Amino acid sequence: MRKFIQTFGLILCGLTQTLLAQNLPYQHYTERNENLADTNNLQHFFRNGNFYGHARSYFSLTNNADQLSDYFAHAFGMGIGYETGKFKNFQMGISGFFVYKLYASNLNNKDALTGQGSRYELGLFDMENPGNQSDLNRLEDLYLKYNYKKSNIKFGKQHIRTPFINPQDARMRPTLVDGIVVSYNEIKNTKIDLGYLYKISPRSTFRWFNIGESIGLYASGVNPYGNKSNYAGNLQSKGVFYAGFTHQFKNKHELQIWNILVENIFNSSLIQYQHQFNLNKATKLKTGFQATRQQANNFGGHENQNNTYMLKEHKSYTLGGRLEIENKNIGSFQVNYNRITKHGRYLMPREWGRDPFFTFMPRERNEGYADLHAITAVYGKKFGKSGFKSDISYGRFYLPAISNTEMNKYAFPSYWQFNADIRYQAHGFLKGIDFQLMYVYKGQMGSNYKNNSFVFNKVDMSLYNFVINYHF
């Protein structure tokens, strides 16, 4: 952390000296005002920028089934960033963040019965280096942006949000990318997203990785043959190319089409359509449909199929739907369904983001499975202008048998899940602070073959999260 503070401190000192040039002696006063009136100079570029900051406190506790180990941890972090004003439509941005352990159980201890360790609490720190929980810092943003009317292009380290690569910020810090990203908004009611990414810094890590080496940092499960997946460190890719098209129709239809090409490894496509009907002044009916298609490129990442991410003939398909009723007085209620067909596992690096499915529930995923049925029900309510809102959700997830390694990558039994999420966004004197309290329970539906390895950190467990954010 000392190295991070020293480096970032030098940057801030340099910026501060520029920004506070207003303390120049009297004889330069007239010259300074003339420079301020001229927007085509470097001083204006820096003086008209914006500082921003973020502090985050995250407490997590996992209560596993009796006789299995429990874990808890409380992490704190803070970061600061700066984006310049515009100079000939160009801007620059920089930000960094550090994370520090306040207190925790021994996260290096393995469970005596399964030999497995912490899942959720360790993710607050560095998955790559579990022993380091106090010197964690990362340069997060470092980009050059060019603005054109309503559009822009950014080059460098940055945050993005797409269906396949997104912040997935349910730990201390989100997933970030390094590359060239275009947001084109010159067509009415239409947004076009384009990107080429050559590095990724996943959530729960503090380094920047090439595309191939970023896959496999998290648990990698088993391959379709039933052997431990061996793709970590064995994949090569020149980068990720993605494109997205979003169009808002006049009658409240929305169409999204996305495609992601991971050179030498795989290609995935998503189409999503949503529509809103006004039943009366207070009530809306919303419907949605989505589908994905996925296939391997070349050998799926490696010629040796024991070391590949996808088998060379791999294909997968998913279908999903949503029905939601929203009433401004009562709240919203939605039912979601998702199907992953028997053609093959739906695979997407967990290091890159959360599932795009309507049935996604925080703290678990359906990536890595085939022949899956998922159904969820969600009730959400905002309590006027108080700043409080809540979501209560319940889901049932029917997975292939654990023994079916061809369709069940992570040896996960079928399960049901209950989430209760309460949030409060402060206003007035405390504006900028928000609180989140989440409780999650996952219960077992499928057989675990009397093996605790298929239970630990997976089912018959509770998870408690209490998160405080302060944005300034």
Tens digit of each residue's pLDDT (9 = 90 or more) over 310-360: 999 999 999 999 999 999 999 999 999 999 999 999 999 999 999 999 999
Does the structure show a pLDDT above 50 at 97?
Answer: yes
Position 16 scores a pLDDT of: 42
User: In this predicted structure, which of 42-56, 187-201, 231-245 has the lowest mean pLDDT?
Assistant: 42-56
The residue-averaged pLDDT of 365-390 equals: 97
Better pLDDT: 415 or 7:
415
Is residue 43 very low, low, confident or very high in pLDDT (cuts 50, 70, 90)? confident
Tens digit of each residue's pLDDT (9 = 90 or more) over 386-420: 999 999 999 999 999 999 999 999 999 999 999 99
Does the structure show a pLDDT above 70 at 21?
Answer: no
Given phi > 0 = left and psi -120 to 50 = alpha, else beta, which region is 457?
left
State percent of the chain over pLDDT 70.
92
Is residue 5 very low, low, confident or very high in pLDDT (cuts 50, 70, 90)? very low
The residue-averaged pLDDT of 417-443 equals: 97
The residue-averaged pLDDT of 83-92 equals: 95
What three-state secondary structure class fits 384? coil
The residue-averaged pLDDT of 22-38 equals: 41
**Which position has the token pair 């720190």?**
125
Report the CATH superfamily, name and number, of domain 49-471. Answer: Porin (2.40.160.10)
Helices of type H across 338-402: none
Burial class (CB in 10 A: 0-12, 13-18, 19+), 297: middle
Closest Cα to residue 424, out of 390, 392, 393, 391? 390
Radius of gyration of the chain (CA): 24
Is residue 46 very low, low, confident or very high in pLDDT (cuts 50, 70, 90)? confident
CB 334 within 8 A of CB 378: yes
Average pLDDT, the chain: 92
What three-state secondary structure class fits 451? coil
* Length of the chain measured in residues: 472
Q: Taking the alpha carbons of 423, 426, 431, 435 in that order, is the dihedral positive or negative?
A: negative
Per-domain residue ranges of the chain: 49-471
Number of other CB atoms surrounding residue 40 within 10 Å: 8
CB 320 within 8 A of CB 270: no
Is residue 13 very low, low, confident or very high in pLDDT (cuts 50, 70, 90)? very low
Is residue 134 very low, low, confident or very high in pLDDT (cuts 50, 70, 90)? confident
Does the structure show a pLDDT above 70 at 39?
Answer: no
Does the structure show a pLDDT above 90 at 182?
Answer: yes
State percent of the chain over pLDDT 90.
86
Interacting residues of 303 by C-beta distance below 8 A, sequence separation 6+: none
Position 38 scores a pLDDT of: 62
